């Protein structure tokens, strides 16, 4: 007999038919009622067994966590709390689960405990919901770009370019640590390495992405990204997934529109396709915040927050405008900022970004036209503008409440001379990036793109608070478990 998934049964409710269901025991109440979950939905299916007729040896093996199959008739539930249930005529045990040694318990477990048992945490309702939503978001991103005529470009994971300055890199090598080959100058001789040169894991697919965009028009990447920064926060991972669209014949305005459309599209997709899981995550968040003082709780529920992002345009303002707002803000005047906002030209601290997003505007904010000094070499140099103290670039950062920077992007500097001059100023070796500069020598065009931290998006949409809880097996300083 063909097994039916629980999500299918709940959707179609084929009352009166014989069904076979397979899943894991989430509860066994009253020696009679099995709550069965197979991962197809957060909802459990109630399987009713007749303990007087059932083999006692089987009955005894129906434990929390055990994998079982149950065959029987699907009926309208005789009890409250669910619409349908299966009256089992036969129960088969596939895998026992000894409660004396099984780390999980049918109770609330802390996220910290589950993080240490990441190999088992998919089995909890919260994490199953997180990973179903994560899947839906990944799918929605591909759908969004595909429907708009973007091509999914796989940029390399191993890269020889060390010139981006996007962060510390993980070295990739097959050279031995003991007796590492040296050249005459005493330096490590990378000509003997696998690639005959020094290589690292990628910190960004952008430069390669730009190459694709110069022929395919609109491309995006969606792949693993590695940063060897010693970052210990709830927003950073050493291995994370990044989405990087790159669009030919586009300027900063187009770039902002694309990013805002994409974020709203995937949030709408999640609301429409993950309603049950989002409700579960919303309830979890409410429960978690009960232990917090009133003023630290969220003003909006999770689903309200997501709808709010859909219903409101993101605020767009320049760095220069943001500095003015911050300078004149109450916390700045009263000395409440740890880093007082004094002048134009320094980077914003996360407390400043939080103030703008969470207190001043209370909605997502796109900050643009940052000082050139604090941004990457490839960003397009703006024309001087009245009231702006120094040179700026066509950069944009999208700031989300609770997350901070979720998107960072820019219009790219397509003018060869200006790009090369900027690289010289920033001591970036042009010869190493000659392939990149070729895009500016042959058929250059205005273009723009951005990077979206996928886990930060998942974090925002699931209402989880630690990025280590929205990726299956998080990698961060001191931890590469599982």
Of residues 154 through 193, those in contact with RNA by CB under 7 A are 166-167
Is residue 367 within 8 Å of residue 396, measured between CB atoms?
yes
Structure tokens of 421?
């001059």
Does residue 447 interact with RNA by CB under 7 A?
A: no
- Enumerate residues 260-299 that contact RNA by CB under 7 A: none
Select from 22-30, 173-181, 315-323, 441-449 the region that touches RNA (CB under 7 A).
22-30
DSSP 189-228: -GGGSTTSS-EEE-S-SHHHHHHHHHHHSEEEEEEEEE--
53 touches RNA by CB under 7 A = no
- Rule CB under 7 A: which of 89-128 touch RNA? 99-100, 103, 105-107, 109-110, 112-113, 115-116
Question: Residue 401, interface with RNA (CB under 7 A)?
Answer: no
How distant, in Å, are the alpha carbons of 12, 123, 190, 220 from that of 85? Answer: 13, 22, 65, 45
CB of 203 to RNA, least distance (A): 8
Q: How far is the CB of 150 from RNA (least distance, A)?
A: 18
Give me the least distance between CB of 70 and RNA, in Å please.
14
Closest CA to 368 of 314, 439, 446: 314
CB of 91 to RNA, least distance (A): 15
Cβ–Cβ contacts within 10 Å for residue 315, how many? 17
Of 45-53, 138-146, 296-304, 383-391, which segment contacts RNA by CB under 7 A? 45-53
Q: Is residue 242 part of the contact set for RNA (CB under 7 A)?
A: yes
Residue 236 interacts with RNA (CB under 7 A): yes or no: yes
Which is closer to RNA, CB of 250 or CB of 399?
A: 399
Q: Which is nearer to RNA, 193 or 460 (CB)?
A: 460
CB of 351 to RNA, least distance (A): 6
Q: Is residue 49 involved in binding RNA (CB under 7 A)?
A: no
Is 230 among the residues that bind RNA (CB under 7 A)? yes
DSSP assignment of 270-291 equals: HHHH-HHHHHHHHHHHHHHHTT
Beta bridge partner(s), residue 452: 243, 407
Give the residue, chosen from 121, 412, 447, 456, that forms a contact with RNA under the rule CB under 7 A: 456
Structure tokens at 26: 């989430």
Label residues 166-191 b or e (16+ Cβ within 10 Å = b): beebeebeeeeeeeeeeeeeeeeebe
Q: Closer CB to RNA, residue 80 or residue 334?
A: 80
Please list the residues that pair with 36 across neighbouring strands.
25, 45
Contact indicator for 432, 163 with CB cutoff of 8 Å: yes
Q: Which of 183, 234, 312, 328 binds RNA (CB under 7 A)?
A: 234
30 binds RNA (CB under 7 A): yes
Burial readout 14-40 (b: 16 or more C-beta within 10 A, e: otherwise): eeeeebebbbbbbebeeeebbbbbbeb
Stretch near RNA under the rule CB under 7 A, chosen from 144-152, 261-269, 308-316, 460-468: 460-468
> Kindly report the CA angle at 386 between 358 and 335, in degrees rounded to 5?
35
Q: How far is the CB of 183 from RNA (least distance, A)?
A: 30
Residue recorded with tokens 């205005």? 446
Contact flag: residue 2 with RNA (CB under 7 A):
no
Interface with RNA (CB under 7 A), residue from 42, 212, 453, 463: 453
Selected from 2, 174, 232, 294, the binder of RNA by CB under 7 A is 232
What angle separates helix 434-441 from helix 206-216, to the nearest 10 degrees?
A: 30
* Choice between 330 and 350, CB closer to RNA: 350
């Amino acid at each position: 007999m063909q097994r039916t998934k629980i999500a299918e049964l709940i959707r179609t409710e084929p009352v009166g038919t014989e069904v076979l269901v397979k899943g894991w025991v989430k509860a066994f109440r009253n020696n009679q009622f099995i709550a069965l979950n197979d991962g197809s939905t957060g909802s459990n299916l109630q399987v009713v067994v007749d303990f007087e007729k059932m083999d006692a040896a089987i009955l005894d093996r129906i434990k929390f966590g055990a994998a079982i199959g149950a065959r029987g008739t699907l009926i309208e539930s005789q009890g409250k709390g669910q619409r349908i249930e299966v009256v089992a005529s036969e129960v088969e045990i596939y895998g026992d689960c000894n409660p004396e040694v099984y780390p999980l318990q049918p109770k609330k477990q802390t996220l910290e405990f589950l993080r240490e048992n990441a190999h088992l945490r998919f089995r909890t309702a919260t994490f199953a919901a997180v990973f179903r939503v994560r899947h839906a978001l990944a799918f929605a991103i591909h759908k969004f770009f595909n429907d708009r005529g973007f091509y999914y470009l796989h940029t390399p994971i191993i890269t020889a370019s060390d010139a981006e300055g996007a962060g510390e890199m993980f070295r990739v090598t097959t050279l031995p640590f003991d007796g590492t080959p040296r050249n005459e100058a005493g330096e490590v001789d990378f000509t003997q390495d696998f690639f005959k040169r020094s290589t690292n894991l990628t910190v960004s697919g952008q430069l390669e992405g730009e190459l694709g965009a110069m022929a395919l028009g609109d491309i995006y990447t969606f792949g693993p990204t590695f940063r060897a920064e010693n970052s210990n926060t709830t927003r950073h991972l050493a291995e994370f997934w990044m989405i990087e669209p790159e669009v030919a014949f586009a300027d900063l305005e187009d770039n902002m529109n694309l990013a805002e459309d994409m974020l709203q599209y995937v949030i709408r997709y999640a609301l429409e396709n993950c309603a049950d899981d989002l409700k579960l995550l919303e309830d979890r968040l409410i429960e978690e915040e009960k232990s917090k003082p009133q003023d630290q709780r969220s003003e909006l529920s999770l689903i309200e927050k997501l709808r709010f992002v859909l219903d409101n345009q993101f605020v767009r303002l320049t760095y220069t405008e943001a500095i003015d707002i911050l300078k004149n803000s109450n916390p700045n005047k009263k000395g409440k900022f740890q880093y007082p906002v004094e002048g134009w030209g320094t980077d914003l601290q996360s407390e400043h970004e939080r103030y703008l997003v969470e207190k001043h505007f209370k909605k997502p904010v796109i900050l643009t036209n940052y000082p050139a000094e604090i941004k990457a070499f490839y960003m397009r140099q703006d024309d001087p503008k009245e009231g702006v103290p120094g040179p700026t670039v066509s950069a944009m950062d999208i700031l989300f409440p609770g997350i901070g920077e979720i998107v960072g992007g820019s219009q790219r500097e397509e003018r060869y001379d200006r790009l090369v001059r900027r690289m010289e100023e920033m001591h970036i070796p042009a010869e190493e990036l000659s392939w990149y500069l070729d895009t500016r020598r042959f058929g250059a065009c205005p273009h723009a793109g951005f990077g979206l931290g996928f886990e930060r998006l998942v974090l925002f949409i699931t209402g989880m608070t630690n990025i280590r809880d929205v990726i299956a097996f998080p990698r961060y300083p001191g931890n590469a478990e599982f």
